[in-house]
Structure formats: C-alpha cells, structure tokens
Chain A
Amino acid sequence: MNEAFEPVLLRRRGVAGSQTLAYYQQDGGYNGLQKALKMTPAEVIKVVSDSGLRGRGGAGFHTGSKWGFLPKNYEGPIYLCVNGDESEPGTFNNRILIEEDPHQLLEGIAIASYATGASVAYLYLRYEYGQCYRTLEKAIEEMYANNLLGKNILGSNFSLDVYLVRGACAYICGEETGLIESLEGKRAWPRIKPPFPAIEGAFRRPTVVNNIETLACVTHILDKGPEWFMSMGVPKDPNNPRDPGSYGPKLYCVSGHVNNPGLFELPLGITARELIEKHAGGVWKGRKVKAVVPGGISMGFLSADELDTPLDFAGPGKAGCLGLGTAAVIVIDDQTSMVDVLYNNCRFFAHESCGQCTPCREGTAWSSKILRRIRDGHGKMSDLKTLEDISNTIGIMPGTTICGLADGAAWPIKNALKKFRPEFEEYISKGQKTEMREALAAH
C-alpha cells in the first residue's frame, strides 16, 4: 500500500521558492486557516480530536485532548509554545519541515492558536538551527505583511502574534516544562507536575506545547478533514479500549549504517525492516543489522529479530522499547560493538541531564563511567547488575524523577542488557578493549 503514497508534509520539499508565501498560497496554502476561521474554536478542536492526531514530539499524546485541558472561558492570555528544540539524537524532521516549508508550519500554528484561544505563540527553536531561524523570520514577516498574523487575521476577530525564540542549546530545553522555563529566561529545569502547562504554563498562564510536525499535520487536517487523516496509519486496537490508534503520515528520520539515509514520509505503521530495506537502501557495506533504534536514542533498541515491528505508536512498546519517540531510526550494523553504542548513549544522557533529580543526575553519570571502564577493559560481571539497578531506579520504576529524560536514559540500558547480554558478558570476560577513537577519548 505504501508504493502509491503521496507525501503530504514533504510535498513541497526541494521545490524552488517553496519557502515563499506566494508559492505556498498558489499551492493551496492557508486554505485550512480560512476554513478554521469560519468555524468556532470548539469545532476546530473537535476536528483535530476526531482525526486521532497524536503528538509527534515523542510522547504521542492525543492532540485534541491536550487542547481540551485548557480552562474554559479563561480571562487573560493563553499561550501556544511551539516545540522546535529538536535535539533527540537522530531526529531532523523539524529542520526539514521548517527549511523547506515554513508556511505549512505557520498555518498550523495559526490554526492551533485559534482553536486554543492563544493570543501569542512562541516558536522555541533549537539554537543551532540558523537556517531555520532565517527562513522563519522571513516567513513571519511575510505573514504580518499579508494580514495572516497580527490584528484581525483575514478580517476575522482573531489576532495572533508569533515570536521566534532561539533555544538555550540543551537537550532538556525540548522537554515541555524545561522549554517553558527556558522561554521565561531561566535555567531549563523541568517543572514538577501538577500543575500541568494547560493549567499553569508559560508565565504562569495556561499553555499548550506542541511539536512542529504535530502542527504541520494540523494544517492538513483542517484542509482535508479528519477522515482523510484517518485513512492513513494503524487503526485502534479493537481489543484494547485504551489504544487511540496511530493515524496519519509520519516523518521517519533514518540514519546510521544504511546506504540511503534520509527523511521519509510514510503512513504510520511501516515496519522497521521495510523502512530500512525499501526506503533507506538497506544496510551499508553489505552488512547485517545488529540493532535498530526505533525513535531517537531514548527509546532503546530493537534487535535484528524484531525488525518486523511496526513503527506506529504501539509497536516499539510491544517489542520492549519505550515507544515510538520521534520516529528517528538509527541503524547499527553487525560490526559495531553494543558496548560502544551503549557507552555513547549513556554519555549523551550524562551530558544532558539537567541535574535536578538525584537519580538522573548521578545515575546517568555513573552508568557512563561504568561503561567507559568496561570499554577500557576493566569491566566486572557485577557491573551489569549495577547498570541494571541504575536503569531501574532512574527511569524504569515509575515516579523516580521529574521528567522523561531519565526514562530515556534508562531504556537503552535495559534493552541493551536484555537483548544483547551475551555480547556484554563476552566483552567483559575476555577483557576486551575498544580501540579508542581519539575523539571519544577526549571526553
């Protein structure tokens, strides 16, 4: 069924001038917004809710429900925070969406703001995305010039300002409440919940935080309707009343040891195998898959036996991973040591832990030190138990930390030790050593 799939979100990728308002409008742009403005905000929320759209930022939360949590008839400003911090390793779909088609996103922002009653949208953009910044700056300017932003948009009663904010260069700035703190000019230390942002978010006002891809989807849902959106993807599991299904198109970022890495737009639910073999050109150098990261490194690992796992919101979880995450697929070939992979993983989280919660702050650093020692050839079998305990107490056991970073740090350890244990044991018992690459040794 995927053969015939026409990209939606990436339709204008690579087209000259696709970033301009003129091109976007002659290509049917701002249709969705016009439709939305003729509806009531509640009706817009209903459309988005009916489409089954789930957040693309990592947690897969049902977007319509999230918008519904805002207090009704709230007096005073409501804010939309657009999460463009995109720093989950392996993830680059937000960047392409912005660089290639900024108005698709901005239309979604306008629709979401209208639906939620937000009078200001903050677009929190990963600092390193300079090209995106300049593209967005231009696009926002064009919108103001054409009554698509500012007062009384397109003659309606709806007014909206969009502010472009450059991020503070840390992974944790992407966590929604870390983002809000950073937006407020503080250290991005995630907040404790409750209160959730919908009740008390940016500047202590009700706030919705949505990912860029999520909002790009909103544009098309308004334009083409919820049924169209639900025609793609994996329907609800009839045996599981709590499964909201995985509908719509999804941007899969494929990187690692493949012949043809890149960004692929496909309906939710494609298997890892199909994605790698059919779209990403297979594993490079004629090698085999050893492990696959299903959705950014915080999601854990699929083993070579689990490649038929569908990459929808439910699939990776069934295979013991944390979830679909950002659908950033990283392929690891059979010549790569999982000890190295896991070390690199742990090093990332140790570096990015914001340092608030004791278990995350100390556990991430400890796991990375232990793995480093194992790589240096000084591992002990008992280290594996310690690593397991760390993974359990920083993230696997629910409630041990404030935000999801620690879960993301825990899952790869858990998966690696479960699915690749013999490799770790052999590595330790043989006193193997990784030839240190200079770059790594520097850390």
Chain B
Amino acid sequence: MPSLFINSVEIEVQPKENIVQAARRAGVEIPHYCWHPDLSVVASCRMCLVEAGTKKDDGTVAMQPRLVPACQTPATPNTVVVTDSPKVKSSQAQTLEYLLLNHPLDCSICDQAGECYLQDYTYQFGKAESRLDEPKVQRQDKYYIGEQIALFTDRCVMCTRCVRFTREYSGTAELFVTSRGSVEEIEVLPGQPCDNKLAGNVVDLCPVGALCSKDFLYKKRVWWLKSADSVCQLCSTGCSITVDQSESKVERVRPRENPQAQGSFMCDDGRFGWKFAHSENRIRAPRIGRASHGQVASPQLTTIGAPTNAVEQYSMSVNQSTPLATATVSDLTFADPWPGLINHLQSVLKQSAQDHPTKTLAVFSPFMTCEEAYLLADYLKKTNPKITLAMGPVPVVGEDDTYPKGPKGQSPAAEKTRFTIRAEKAPNRLGVEAVLQHFQKSIVNDEQWLSSMELNPFETVLVVGNSPAEWLNDETVSKLRRAGKLIVVDILENNLTHAADVVIPGVSFVEKEGTVVNHAGLAQTFHPAIRCSDGTRPDVRTYMELSGRSGLYHGPTIRAEMASVIPAFAAFETGELGELGKRVFS
C-alpha cells in the first residue's frame, strides 16, 4: 500500500485526499479557514501552510524550500509533510496575527464565541502577545444581508466560503466581495438579499462570527447548548442534523455531515422546521370527547353512550364543563390520565374488532417512525387480523427543488445536482409502507379508504397524524367524521383533532427516538434532544402499553425484533444503525 508521512507518522494514501484530510487521519489538525470539502479550493487564507517534500526510493527526503498550502496539495504517495517545524509554526502565528489585525475581538458579545475557529486557532497556534498599534478598519454591520442572516462585517476573515457556497452550491450567487485589500467586504446587491432556500448554510460555513443567524442571535451562549443527533423530518431527503438545545428548549438546528444522506448542508425549511415542537398549539393532554366547531379551548364533552371507563367517568365527574384539556392543574393534580386512556382505547378497539372487524380502520401517516408503525400495526393485527391498516396521504408540494440553480434560477441537470429539497414533505413514507406491506400485504391508499368512508363508513377509525403542518383537508376530515368513533394521535390541534372523539397527544421528533427511511432507502435513527412537552409522552410508549408489552421502550430491541419479523428490515438486525444510518432498501 502506498503511504505518506505526516510528522513522521506513516499513513496509507487514500484517493483524492489533500494534506489537510490525510493529516486528520494521522491525528494532526492543520488549521484552515478557506478550505471546505464541498467547495472549490482557493487556497487564499494561507492558514494551512506546511512544509512538504518527497521521500525518494533511496529513503532520502527532499523537502521543498517553499511552504505549501495543505488544502491545495494532494496527499500523494511518498509525500512527506511537516506541520510542527519552527517555520510552519511561525507562519501560522503570523497569519493569525494578520487575521486579528482588523478583527474587533468582541468575543464577549459575539455569537460565535465558543465555536469560533479564530478563537480556537489563536489559542492553539497564535502568539501570546499582540503588537497592534494601528487603528482597526471599522465597517458597518449589515443586517440586510439576508432575512435570516446578519453580517458583522468587522469580524470577517475573508475566507470567501460564503461567496463560494452561493455560487457553487446554491447557484444563487447573492454574495460577493466588494472593494479590495484590507477594506474589502462581503456584500449583496441592493434589493437582492441572500434569501435562497439554502441560505442558512452560510452561517454554519462562516468560520468566525461574521455571518450570524438572526433567529439564534443573542439567544444562548453556545457552551450552554447540548446536542443530539437527529434527522430532519420536513422532506424525504432526510438530512442528518444536530439539534442544539438548552433547558429543554431547542435553540437551533444545524446540518450534520452525512455523505449517504444529504452531504454537508441542509435547507432553511428544515433549519427552522423544529419550531412547531414549541408551539402554543400543542396538544398537551389526552382528550375524550368531540370538540364542536373547532373550539379547542373549551370543547364540549360528548361522550358516546354511558361512561365505560375511568377516564370518561373521571372527566364527567370532575366537572361537566371542565374537560381534561382545559382542566386546571389543581383539578388534575392527582390525575394521570394515561392509564385510563389506554384502558379506554383497548376496550374500544377490542369491541370494535369484535363487533365489526372489517369496519375498523387505522390510518398511518408518513410522519410516523418505523418503530411506531411497527408497534401499532403489530398490536392492531394481533387484536384482529381483519382490522384494515391504511396509508394516509403523503404530502407533496410542487416539484423537487434542486441546486445549484442556473443564472436564471433554472434547475441543474440531474448529474450536476448537488442538493435536493424534495417535493415529498414527509420523512418516512418508505418505512411506513414497508411495515404496512408486511402486515396488510397490500397498501390501502387514500383513495380506497376514502371512497369506502363515503359508501359504507368504517365504524371505528384510528388516525395518526403527527404532521408539523395541516395534513388532511377539510373534505377528508368530514369524511372521517362519519365514523362512529374517530380516534386521533397528533401533535398539534388541527381540523382533524377538532373532529375527533378521542385525541391522544403525540410528540415531535426532537422529543423522541425513532427511525425514518428517506427517499433513497437510507434508514437513520434520530435521538431525543429535549424532554417531552408537559403532558405528552412518546407515541411508542402509548403503543407499547396498548399492546400490553412490558417494560420501557428500547429502540434497539424493537428494531432487532422488526428485523426478525419483517424481512424488509433485515438491516435493523443489530438494532443500531450508527450515526450515518444504513441503507435498508432501495
């Protein structure tokens, strides 16, 4: 195997690597600003200069007299790289001194502090003292750079990552460099801010606190944030993301590099797509009784028949006009509504399956995780195999939105496409379909179950929603309303929950664990970033209890079980899919 040498550590050559990448594998961090694996190489910041040479066949080493940019130099066989010589160190220190010359050093009020490459490298590679005497160049902050983006012009180190991103990746080319030399600045044209759907990435790309997200600006010092690996649920691309939270409040979401999923970036829909988790409109307690005309705040209890279980009896007895959803804390201090709810559901579903098995329907949603779909389907089919399991609508908005855009905003050719925001606005159609396929043999689609609702309505219908946006149109809801009993699992109040007889709160992806399968058959597990919102609990727990499974939900165990039950999920065998996920089917 051909190899190269980084500070005399020998490592194997890997194709298409530069010295920064090869050194990283050898455990050596070469500081760099302008280089980014997904952008063209400009080698302009000169932070990554190292000494390089070649080891000859006779074992002698010939070093080049000049320093070379590690980012621009391919890691070829027999390359000898030195990153810790006095020459390299003094060049690093000098470059940092240059970068700090006109830098305001306002770390104390800078959002980037704590995750800033200027701070980190100065600490690691910089000089202890400064000899700066001259007044710094001062420049206007630019809040107009983008709707979501502010530029703190003074802090820019002119790495041009942001500029290259808008040219090479989004193709929208809003950002450019204006002026020259030490007074140059990043700028946009008047009236043409950086508002493309991938714009937020420039904030992540910026190695310093120059480009900041207005949404996150001054909200939290980054060292208070705790992160969880997650997966965006807003479209079927399924971008790997990191959810940053503090005190059980999500503060921001960042893309997490995953070559199998989306690459290094994410779109702004996804970037701000977690906000519904903290919505005022969350369903915070189970509810039995149909709301009238969408008056969620004080739905009228309409119990069907005599109260048959604890929850209904309880809610009837507390106060006719104080349903669970609006009962005050003191009303409910000692009430845990869940055991009663589970009992109620069990008996309703059992009864329905007994009385009219073919008239019992469960509608699954593409927003469910694989585990949720599996546990629910398994329970229902075990209750009675004749219960119909159907797929709910899969939201599709417009067409796939591909990047980089051409000069007139046109889509790139397929082979030139670097990023796709998919028209399918749900994370897990493929995963849920695979579960349904297994339990139902064929997938009952919307058209089929909706037309039966019209002709010969189902008696009992369980619908799982969990969409961050309104999912079913009013027409569909009114058809569903014809069921004798409509049970709904959902996160936010909407037309469907207003029509339901029983409402079970679900939780958003930032509050739970689960696996989704993206458009390409890549299964990724996401992890909870925050506690479940008060009054709610993970959907899987509800399904576990319904089916009478003992113990707590443990994702890997359920996934391993799925692998043994459903051949399509064979890749779930170990229960662990790793940080980057596994391709389950294609």
Tell me whether B201 is interfacial, beta carbon within 8 Å.
no
A45 to chain B, nearest CB (A): 30
In the complex, chain A residues 365-399 whose Cβ is within 8 Å of any chain B Cβ? 365-366, 369-370, 373, 380, 382, 386, 389, 393, 397-399
**Count, chain A residues at interface, CB 8 A:** 34
From A212-220, A352-360, A420-428, give the one contacting chain B: A352-360
Q: Which of A352, A359, A370, A386 contacts B180 (CB 8 A)?
A: A352
Please, how many angstroms separate the alpha-carbon atoms of A187 and B181 in the complex? Answer: 13
Tell me whether B16 is interfacial, beta carbon within 8 Å.
no
Please, how many angstroms separate the alpha-carbon atoms of A351 and B68 in the complex? Answer: 26
B118 to chain A, nearest CB (A): 12
Chain B residues lying within 8 Å of A382, measured Cβ to Cβ, are 131
Chain A residues lying within 8 Å of B180, measured Cβ to Cβ, are 170, 351-355
Are A402's CB and B182's CB within 8 A?
A: no
B71 to chain A, nearest CB (A): 10
Q: Give 1 or 0 for each of A335-362: 1 = CB within 8 Å of chain B CB.
A: 0000000000000001111111111011
Are B95's CB and A187's CB within 8 A?
A: no
Please, how many angstroms separate the alpha-carbon atoms of A382 and B132 in the complex? Answer: 12
Are A399's CB and B72's CB within 8 A?
A: no
Tell me whether A400 is interfacial, beta carbon within 8 Å.
yes
Please, how many angstroms separate the alpha-carbon atoms of A364 and B72 in the complex? Answer: 24
Please, how many angstroms separate the alpha-carbon atoms of A398 and B184 in the complex? Answer: 25
Chain B residues lying within 8 Å of A365, measured Cβ to Cβ, are 101-102, 137, 181-183
Are B95's CB and A192's CB within 8 A?
A: no
Tell me whether B98 is interfacial, beta carbon within 8 Å.
yes
Are A362's CB and B67's CB within 8 A?
A: no
Are A359's CB and B41's CB within 8 A?
A: no
* CB-CB nearest in chain B for A193: B72
* CB-CB nearest in chain A for B71: A192
Question: Residue among B44, B72, B184 with the most chain A CB within 10 A?
Answer: B44
Tell me whether A326 is interfacial, beta carbon within 8 Å.
no
* CB-CB nearest in chain B for A372: B134
Are A358's CB and B41's CB within 8 A?
A: no
Q: Which of B65, B95, B98, B177 contacts A398 (CB 8 A)?
A: B65
**Count, chain B residues at interface, CB 8 A:** 38
Are B177's CB and A355's CB within 8 A?
A: yes
Chain A residues lying within 8 Å of B43, measured Cβ to Cβ, are 192, 402
Q: Which of B42, B72, B95, B135 contacts A359 (CB 8 A)?
A: B95
Please, how many angstroms separate the alpha-carbon atoms of A389 and B87 in the complex? Answer: 13
Chain B residues lying within 8 Å of A255, measured Cβ to Cβ, are none
Are A393's CB and B94's CB within 8 A?
A: yes
Tell me whether A401 is interfacial, beta carbon within 8 Å.
yes
* CB-CB nearest in chain B for A386: B131
Are A362's CB and B102's CB within 8 A?
A: yes
- Contact A358:B91 (CB < 8 A) given known A192-B72, A353-B182, A369-B134: no
Please, how many angstroms separate the alpha-carbon atoms of A365 and B66 in the complex? Answer: 24
Are B44's CB and A358's CB within 8 A?
A: yes
Please, how many angstroms separate the alpha-carbon atoms of A189 and B163 in the complex? Answer: 14
- Contact A398:B67 (CB < 8 A) given known A355-B181, A357-B44, A364-B181: yes
Tell me whether B133 is interfacial, beta carbon within 8 Å.
yes
Chain A residues lying within 8 Å of B429, measured Cβ to Cβ, are none
Please, how many angstroms separate the alpha-carbon atoms of A401 and B179 in the complex? Answer: 19
- Contact A373:B133 (CB < 8 A) given known A192-B42, A361-B181: yes
- Contact A366:B66 (CB < 8 A) given known A170-B180, A393-B91: no
- Contact A354:B94 (CB < 8 A) given known A359-B46, A398-B66: no
In the complex, chain B residues 100-120 whose Cβ is within 8 Å of any chain A Cβ? 101-102
Chain B residues lying within 8 Å of A187, measured Cβ to Cβ, are 176-177
Tell me whether A363 is interfacial, beta carbon within 8 Å.
yes
* CB-CB nearest in chain B for A401: B46
Please, how many angstroms separate the alpha-carbon atoms of A354 and B47 in the complex? Answer: 18
Q: Give 1 or 0 for each of A64-107: 1 = CB within 8 Å of chain B CB.
A: 00000000000000000000000000000000000000000000
Tell me whether B205 is interfacial, beta carbon within 8 Å.
no
* CB-CB nearest in chain A for B94: A393
Chain B residues lying within 8 Å of A386, measured Cβ to Cβ, are 131
Please, how many angstroms separate the alpha-carbon atoms of A170 and B135 in the complex? Answer: 26
Are A366's CB and B67's CB within 8 A?
A: no
Are A362's CB and B98's CB within 8 A?
A: yes
Question: Residue among A170, A187, A357 with the most chain B CB within 10 A?
Answer: A357
Please, how many angstroms separate the alpha-carbon atoms of A170 and B184 in the complex? Answer: 14
Tell me whether B82 is interfacial, beta carbon within 8 Å.
no
* CB-CB nearest in chain B for A364: B181
B120 to chain A, nearest CB (A): 16
Please, how many angstroms separate the alpha-carbon atoms of A397 and B44 in the complex? Answer: 16
B507 to chain A, nearest CB (A): 48
Q: Give 1 or 0 for each of B75-104: 1 = CB within 8 Å of chain A CB.
A: 000000000000100010011001101100
A47 to chain B, nearest CB (A): 34
Please, how many angstroms separate the alpha-carbon atoms of A164 and B47 in the complex? Answer: 39
A239 to chain B, nearest CB (A): 22
Are A362's CB and B101's CB within 8 A?
A: yes
- Contact A354:B133 (CB < 8 A) given known A192-B72, A359-B46, A389-B94: no
Tell me whether B158 is interfacial, beta carbon within 8 Å.
yes
Chain B residues lying within 8 Å of A170, measured Cβ to Cβ, are 180
Give 12 pairs: A residue, B residue, CB < 8 Å, sorted on A. Answer: A170-B180, A192-B42, A354-B180, A357-B44, A361-B184, A362-B101, A365-B102, A370-B133, A373-B134, A380-B133, A399-B67, A402-B43
Residues of chain A whose beta carbon lies under 8 Å from any beta carbon of chain B: 170, 187, 189, 192, 350-359, 361-366, 369-370, 373, 380, 382, 386, 389, 393, 397-402
